[in-house]
């Protein structure tokens, strides 16, 4: 599927599902009164479906979380275009790929991934605009669901347990760092992140050519450092 088609599915289907689930979610939240303290336990699911470069920008915050919670298992739900970026970071215990080639593949792989993440402790949605990732996080029945909201969109309210304001006119790293601060994690230094990433880069020429064909961010990272 092309990006325009995926955006349309996300907007229409995601919007309908949020409208369907919002009231039951508010009702169950009032009854269950779960502990939403911003602390990570056991399994943590991160979601990043588009824009693997954003994972590189978020790496100092993610590495800080990894060190603050070494006992937790970090999973990433992503698409095939994001997976090479995630693999280069080397901080995720498991990377689960959602197949977005067609609506059928998206549904079947999405359900399979949802089952694997059912009742994780915390979902951290790194997507700013996606509605379907919000629904995915809700259906995991996670204790905490952390996400972003914009100045003119409030549809994640009462769906996520913790919302962080995302200012589109500021550097995105500020808001990734806000997630780490919320969870009482320090931010790693860029120089340190660069050293760790270089260790995870492919060693052999054949592997490097294969990986670089899908992951062209190392130059971007060196400039950003």
Question: What is this structure's pTM?
Answer: 0.84
- For residue 109, tell me if it sits in a domain: yes
Q: Calculate what percentage of the chain has a pLDDT beyond 90.
A: 61
- DSSP characters over 28-39: HHHHH-----S-
Q: Which of 96, 83, 63 is nearest to 191 (CA)?
A: 63
- For residue 71, tell me if it sits in a domain: yes
- For residue 130, tell me if it sits in a domain: yes
- For residue 162, tell me if it sits in a domain: yes
- For residue 127, tell me if it sits in a domain: yes
Mean pLDDT of the chain: 87
- For residue 217, tell me if it sits in a domain: no
- For residue 196, tell me if it sits in a domain: no
Helix axes 173-182, 53-68, angle to 10 degrees: 20
- For residue 77, tell me if it sits in a domain: yes
Look up the domain containing 31 and give its range. 3-188
Number of folded domains in the chain? 1
pLDDT tens digit string along 85-111? 999 898 999 999 999 999 999 999 999
- The predicted model gives 113-142 an average pLDDT of 95
Q: Calculate what percentage of the chain has a pLDDT beyond 70.
A: 89
CATH code for the domain of 127? 3.40.50.2000
């Amino acid at each position: 599927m092309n990006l325009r088609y995926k955006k349309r599915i996300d907007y229409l289907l995601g919007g309908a599902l949020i409208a369907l689930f919002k009231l039951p979610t508010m009702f169950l939240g009032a009854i269950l009164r779960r502990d939403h303290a911003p602390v990570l336990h056991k399994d943590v699911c991160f979601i990043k479906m588009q824009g693997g470069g954003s994972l590189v920008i978020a790496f100092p915050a993610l590495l800080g979380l990894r060190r603050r919670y070494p006992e937790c298992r970090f999973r990433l739900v992503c698409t095939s275009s994001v997976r090479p970026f995630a693999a280069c970071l080397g901080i995720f215990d498991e990377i689960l790929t959602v197949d977005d080639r067609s609506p059928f593949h998206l549904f079947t792989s999405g359900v399979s991934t949802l089952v694997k993440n059912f009742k994780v402790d915390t979902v951290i949605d790194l997507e700013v605009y996606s509605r379907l990732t919000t629904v995915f996080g809700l259906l995991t029945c996670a204790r905490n669901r952390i996400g972003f909201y914009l100045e003119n969109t409030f549809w994640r309210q009462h769906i996520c347990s913790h919302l962080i304001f995302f200012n589109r006119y500021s550097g995105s790293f500020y808001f990734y760092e806000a997630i780490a601060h919320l969870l009482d994690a320090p931010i790693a230094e860029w120089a340190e992140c660069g050293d760790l990433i270089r260790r995870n880069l492919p060693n052999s020429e054949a592997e490097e050519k294969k990986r670089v064909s899908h992951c062209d961010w190392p130059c971007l990272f060196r400039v950003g450092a």
